[in-house]
Amino acid sequence: MRIYLPGYLVRWMVSCLATLGMTMGLGALANHTSGETGILNVLAAGSGMAFACGVCVWIVTAYIYVFLSRHES
């Protein structure tokens, strides 16, 4: 079943890039707007946490793919 893992790696990388872009965009928007920006900071932090979780999933999936590639039964 390891032949399906590269597809999942690509999907997780795309979602990680999207959440990183959202984090950077919302962080920049929160810094440049005047007035109450609490919600933008919370949204930037939330998308940053989603990015961190996505990177963890990507690393574990990549490790599993390498492990299964080297230890074929």
Residue 36: predicted pLDDT:
65
Whether residue 4 is predicted with pLDDT greater than 70 in this model: the reply is: yes
Q: At 1, is the pLDDT very low, low, confident or very high (cuts 50, 70, 90)? A: confident
pLDDT reported for residue 2: 83
pLDDT tens for residues 10-54?
999 999 999 999 999 999 988 887 666 688 889 999 999 999 999
- If you average pLDDT over residues 60-69, what whole number do you get? 94
DSSP string across 22-71 = HHHHHHHHHHH--S--HHHHHHHHHHHHHHHHHHHHHHHHHHHHHHHHHS
State the Cα–Cα distance between residues 55 and 17, nearest whole angstrom: 10
The predicted structure's pLDDT at residue 72:
75
So where are the chain's domains? 2-70
